[in-house]
């Protein structure tokens, strides 16, 4: 497993936990949204195992512990196994990489929900690509990372402009720049 793969895996698990698993919503529904005290025997047992730590938490921290525990309880066994494996992978990372993962998680938490969903959708799409296409995407991204900052910014600006264009405008831009494809890709619409 490469370093990037380990970091990406750790970030994705952290992101999924932070954003909530679909099944976690059912578990959270059993207690009032603002509850800071345990609402069932399993939560009370968790706190009873760690009374000193619980006593040191402020209300926001207690709420977060309970929410995370409810998410954990709502997971299927295979989901828990995956989280545990990824957590162990995270713990095995060098301290600097762990710090980068945690910083990425902090940034993820600050994103608006719509942007998180957009990124999760894009990641799911990427995971659905055949391995050779995923490898090409990674290679292109690595090439992009190696560009000087000014050139990266120009590329991003151009990409955003391209995204704003209508299909007709894109066709015209391709024609003007001589980017017409001689042989269209199978299954692709003509530009």
* Position 27 confidence tier, pLDDT thresholds 50, 70, 90: very low
Q: How many CA atoms lie within 13 A of 96 on its CB side?
A: 1
Does pTM top 0.85 for this prediction? no
Residue 115, pLDDT > 90, answer yes
Per-residue pLDDT of 168-190, as tens digits, reads 998 888 888 887 655 555 555 55
Residue 43, pLDDT > 70, answer yes
> Phi/psi class of residue 42: alpha, beta or left (left: φ > 0; alpha: ψ in -120 to 50)?
alpha
* Position 120 confidence tier, pLDDT thresholds 50, 70, 90: very high
- Whole-angstrom distance, CA of residue 148 vs CA of residue 19: 34
What mean pLDDT do residues 99-119 have? 93
């Amino acid at each position: 497993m490469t370093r990037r793969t380990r970091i990406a895996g750790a970030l994705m698990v952290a992101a999924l936990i932070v954003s909530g698993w679909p099944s976690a919503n059912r578990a959270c529904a059993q207690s009032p949204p603002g509850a800071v005290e345990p609402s069932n025997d399993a939560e009370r047992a968790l706190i009873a195992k760690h009374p000193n730590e619980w006593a040191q938490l402020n209300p926001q921290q207690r709420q977060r512990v309970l929410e995370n525990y409810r998410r954990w309880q709502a997971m299927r066994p295979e989901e828990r196994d995956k989280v545990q494996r990824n957590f162990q992978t995270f713990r095995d990372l060098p301290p600097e990489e762990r710090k980068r993962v945690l910083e990425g998680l902090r940034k993820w938490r600050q994103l608006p929900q719509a942007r998180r969903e957009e990124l999760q959708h894009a990641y799911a799409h990427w995971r659905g690509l055949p391995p050779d296409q995923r490898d090409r995407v990674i290679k292109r991204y690595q090439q992009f990372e190696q560009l000087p900052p000014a050139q990266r910014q120009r590329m991003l600006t151009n990409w955003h402009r391209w995204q704003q264009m209508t299909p007709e405008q894109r066709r015209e831009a391709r024609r003007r720049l001589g980017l017409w494809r001689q042989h269209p890709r199978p299954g692709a619409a003509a530009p």
